[in-house]
């Protein structure tokens, strides 16, 4: 394993507070929410594992006892990703198949199944938006999510997806939330709101999953 | 590509400005050596940036060479590396197809300068295409898709942007397989998408006046070839989203000594260029001459 101090990018004589600060910064940077539905999700997960392991090792060495896991942040980050939300889903089996295809990364099949459905309900629009998002078609994704939210305003999953798009892809875990092409002062205000809103949900708050 | 992608040089320490300049001169030198004098004229910030992205984490050695733009002064240039060769070949292919696009878009008289430039670049292009057949194929294929979408007057901004983004992402294919290639692909895809949208916004007024295709004209109402505040916000939002996806991908790979330049571009440069483009202030600094003077001043 790599030197845990090197992984956290700190010197060996860093204080406990500095170690924790460095760890939290990195954990925030590589938090799964920043890579949800990204083709690089697995790389971010590996990075997160490495950071968690480094932090645990340092805490263990310093305290001289086998603890540390309780303090690590995002230790259970695989929870809810990709598969965790399936119980909340209650749609027809075709939509379920589409969700499975999206999660496998088989966008052609997902789109084929979706195009065969004539009833363009909220779920249809949400899934169409998700496929667009996976392709990098961010403007269309946002518009499909918008339609899904208009059709079913009480669905939390659709709302989270739209909020994420409305923040221009900034999650609560990204730093520099005020950076952006500042052509409208309202945007920063919205980002701050999104930040507070998300933090109030805990670290799973800004997630929107397919299944 | 018109030099939209750039670090904020004046905010970088001298050491980093010099490093950027060495790549700029190194790419120019490589273009000249591999493709002849005509190819040196395609040099711009975007291609320099591509060379940096494709480079190894450590800077290679330097050489002193004469600058054709300023023959009295010797310049420090990065010695030719496989990354510079790759960037040079891909730049020639991209520039050539862009000129062809210009030929197709204009009539006989207005298209004359594009035809002439394409003619001058043809030999260089043929050589580059023979060295990088896959990239040339990808460029050809995506530009055909783009032409079809233009023909259909496509009202989506994502679809034509996707064609250009796929084209740029194909530049990563020559890199060795593994996480680095995947990170590069993601960065280049969204960089391509961002460049396409920046270019569309920059050309909007001109395209509206001439009646040329521009996806923004069909996606938004664009009265009089100008975006209103809400439309600007929506466009900035989707462009910023691409930048944030670039940043997330960027954090997954160590780009070594290029980190300050890349970070300055992704975290500051792209936003300020987008702002200038959306405010209609970018065109003024677009001419090649301006850019060259600027880089000279900035890196002194």
Please report, for chain A, the start and end positions of each structural domain, with discontinuous segments joined by +: 4-63, 86-200
Q: pLDDT value at position A181? A: 73
Q: Does B237 touch chain A (CB under 8 A)?
A: yes
Chain-chain contact of A29 with B179 (C-beta, under 8 angstroms): no
Interface of B with A in 258-287 (CB under 8 A): 267-268, 271, 274-275, 278-279
Q: pLDDT value at position A205? A: 31
- Count CB-CB contacts under 10 A for residue B156: 17
pLDDT band at B173 (very low <50, low <70, confident <90, very high): confident
* Nearest-angstrom CA–CA distance, A48 and A53: 9
Q: pLDDT value at position A44? A: 93
Burial A63-89 (b: 16+ CB within 10 A, else e): eeeeebeeebbbbebeeebbeebeeee
Residues A157-184 have pLDDT tens digits of: 999 999 999 988 777 666 444 457 765 4
Chosen from A164, A181, A185 to mutate, greatest number of chain B CBs within 10 A: A181
Strand runs labelled E in chain B:
62-67, 70-78
> What is the fold, at CATH topology level, of the domain defined by A86-200?
1.25.40
Mean pLDDT of A69-96: 50
- Count CB-CB contacts under 10 A for residue B265: 25
In chain B, where are the structural domains located? 9-290
**Chain A residues within an 8 Å CB radius of B271:** 179-182
* Rg over CA atoms, chain B: 18
Residues B117-150 have pLDDT tens digits of: 888 899 999 999 999 999 999 999 998 999 899 9
Q: What is the mean pLDDT of chain B?
A: 87
- On whether the CB atoms of residues B67 and B23 are closer than 8 A, the answer is no
Which H/E stretch holds residue B232?
A: helix B229-250
Whether residue B103 has pLDDT greater than 90? no
**Chain A residues within an 8 Å CB radius of B182:** 39-40, 43
Whether residue A5 has pLDDT greater than 50? yes
> What is the fold, at CATH topology level, of the domain defined by A4-63?
Helix Hairpins (1.10.287)
Q: Please give the distance of CA A71 from its chain centroid, rounded to a whole number.
A: 21
Burial B31-70 (b: 16+ CB within 10 A, else e): bbebbeebbbbbbbbbbbbbbbbbbeeebeeeeebebeee
Q: Give A84 or A149, the one with higher predicted confidence.
A: A149
The set of residues, in sequence order, having a beta carbon less than 8 Å from that of A34 and lying 6+ positions away, is A44, A171, A173, A174, B248
Q: What are residue B279's phi and psi, to 5 degrees?
A: -85, 0
**Chain B residues within an 8 Å CB radius of A180:** 236, 240, 271
3-state class percentages of chain A: helix first, strand second, coil last, to nearest 5 = 60, 0, 40
For domain B9-290, the question of CATH label 3.30.160 is answered with: no
Which H/E stretch holds residue A200?
A: helix A186-200
Left (φ > 0), alpha (ψ -120 to 50) or beta: where does B18 sit?
A: alpha
Chosen from A44, A132, A169 to mutate, greatest number of chain B CBs within 10 A: A169
- CA-wise closest residue to B167 among B196, B125, B199: B196
Residue B73, classed as helix, strand or coil, is strand
DSSP letters along A97-150, please? Answer: HHHHHHHHT-HHHHHHHHHT-----HHHHHHHHHHHHHHT-HHHHHHHHHHHHH
Q: Is B123 exposed, middle or buried (0-12, 13-18, 19+ CB in 10 A)?
A: middle
Mean pLDDT of B102-108: 78
Chain-chain contact of A40 with B190 (C-beta, under 8 angstroms): no
Could you report how far apart the first and last alpha carbons of chain A are, in Å?
34
Mean pLDDT of B223-246: 90
């Amino acid at each position: 394993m790599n030197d845990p101090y090197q992984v956290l990018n700190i010197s060996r004589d860093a204080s406990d507070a500095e170690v924790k600060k460095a760890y939290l910064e990195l954990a925030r940077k590589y938090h799964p929410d920043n890579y949800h539905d990204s083709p690089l999700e697995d790389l971010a997960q590996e990075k997160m594992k490495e950071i968690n392991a480094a932090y645990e090792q340092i805490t263990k060495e310093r305290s001289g006892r086998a603890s540390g896991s309780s303090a690590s942040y995002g230790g259970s980050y695989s929870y809810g990703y990709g598969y965790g939300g399936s119980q909340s889903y209650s749609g027809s089996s075709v939509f379920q198949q589409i969700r499975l295809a999206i999660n496998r990364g088989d966008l052609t099949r997902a789109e084929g199944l979706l195009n065969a459905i004539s009833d363009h309900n909220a779920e249809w629009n949400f899934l169409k938006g998700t496929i667009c998002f996976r392709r990098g078609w961010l403007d269309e994704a946002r518009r499909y999510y918008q339609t899904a939210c208009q059709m079913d305003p009480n669905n939390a999953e659709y709302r989270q997806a739209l909020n994420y798009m409305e923040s221009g892809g900034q999650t609560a875990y990204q730093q520099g939330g005020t950076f952006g092409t500042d052509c409208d002062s309202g945007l920063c205000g919205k980002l701050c709101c999104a930040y507070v809103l998300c933090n109030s949900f805990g670290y799973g708050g800004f997630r929107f999953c397919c299944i | 590509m018109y030099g939209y992608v750039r670090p904020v040089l004046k905010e970088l320490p001298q050491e980093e400005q010099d490093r950027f300049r060495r790549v700029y001169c190194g790419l120019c030198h490589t273009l000249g050596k591999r493709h002849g004098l005509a190819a040196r004229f395609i040099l711009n910030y975007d291609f320099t940036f591509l060379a940096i992205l494709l480079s190894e984490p450590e800077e290679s050695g330097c050489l002193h060479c004469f600058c054709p733009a300023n023959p009295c002064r010797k310049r420090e240039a990065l010695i030719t590396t496989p990354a510079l060769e790759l960037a040079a070949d891909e730049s020639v292919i991209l520039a050539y197809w862009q000129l062809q696009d210009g030929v197709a878009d204009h009539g006989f008289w207005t298209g004359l300068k594009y035809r002439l430039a394409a003619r001058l670049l043809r030999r260089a292009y043929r050589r580059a295409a023979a060295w990088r057949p896959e990239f040339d194929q990808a460029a050809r294929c995506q530009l055909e898709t783009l032409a079809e979408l233009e023909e259909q007057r496509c009202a989506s901004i994502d679809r034509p942007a996707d064609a250009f983004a796929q084209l740029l992402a194909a530049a990563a294919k020559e890199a060795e397989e593994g996480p680095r290639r995947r990170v590069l692909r993601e960065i280049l895809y969204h960089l391509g998408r961002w460049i396409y949208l920046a270019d569309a916004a920059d050309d909007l007024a001109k395209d509206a006046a001439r009646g040329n295709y521009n996806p923004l004209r069909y996606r938004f109402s664009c009265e009089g070839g100008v975006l209103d505040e809400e439309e600007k916000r929506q466009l900035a939002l989707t462009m910023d989203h691409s930048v944030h996806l670039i940043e997330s991908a960027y954090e997954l790979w160590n780009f070594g000594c290029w980190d300050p330049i890349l970070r300055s571009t992704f975290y500051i440069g792209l936003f300020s260029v987008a702002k200038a483009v959306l405010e209609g202030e970018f065109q003024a600094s677009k001419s090649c001459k301006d850019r060259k003077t600027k880089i000279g001043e900035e890196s002194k």
